[in-house]
Amino acid sequence: MAPFQYIERPSPFSTKGGKTLPVFAVTPAHVETGTLEPLALDWAKKAGFKAEPGSVLLIPTADAHVGGALFGLGANPSENPYLTGKLARALPAGEWHVETAPLTANRLLLGYGLGAYSFDRYRSERVTEPRLLIPQDADAADIKRQIAGVFLARDLINTPANDMSPADLEAAVRRLAEHYKAEVSVITGDELIEKNFPLVHAVGRASTVAPRLIEMRWGKKGHRKVTLVGKGVSFDTGGLDIKPASSMLLMKKDMGGAANVLGLALMIMDAKLKVDLHVVIPAVENAIAGNAFRPGDVYKSRKGLTVQIDNTDAEGRLILADALSYADAEEPELLIDMATLTGAARVALGPDLPPFFTDDEDLAHALAEASLEVDDPLWRLPLHKGYERMLKAHIADLTNAPSGGMAGAITAALFLKRFVSPGRRWAHFDIFGWSQTERAHSPVGGEAQAIRALYRYLQAGTD
Of 65, 58, 60, the residue nearest 24 (C-alpha)? 58
Q: Which of 212, 317, 418, 456 is catalytic?
A: 317
What's the CA gap between 448 and 155, in Å, rounded? Answer: 10
- From residue 327, how far is each of 50, 191, 205, 230, 447 by CA, in Å? 54, 18, 22, 11, 25
- 243 a catalytic residue: yes
- Between CA 129 and CA 136, with CA 130 as vertex, the angle to 5 degrees is 135
Q: Which of 195, 224, 225, 243 is catalytic?
A: 243
- Asked if residues 178 and 202 have their Cβ atoms less than 8 Å apart, the reply is no
The amino acid occupying position 20 is: T
For the CA atoms of 88, 93, 98, 104, the dihedral, rounded to the nearest 10 degrees, stands at 20
Q: Is the dihedral of CA 213, 216, 222, 223 positive or negative?
A: negative
Catalytic residue positions, numbered: 243, 317
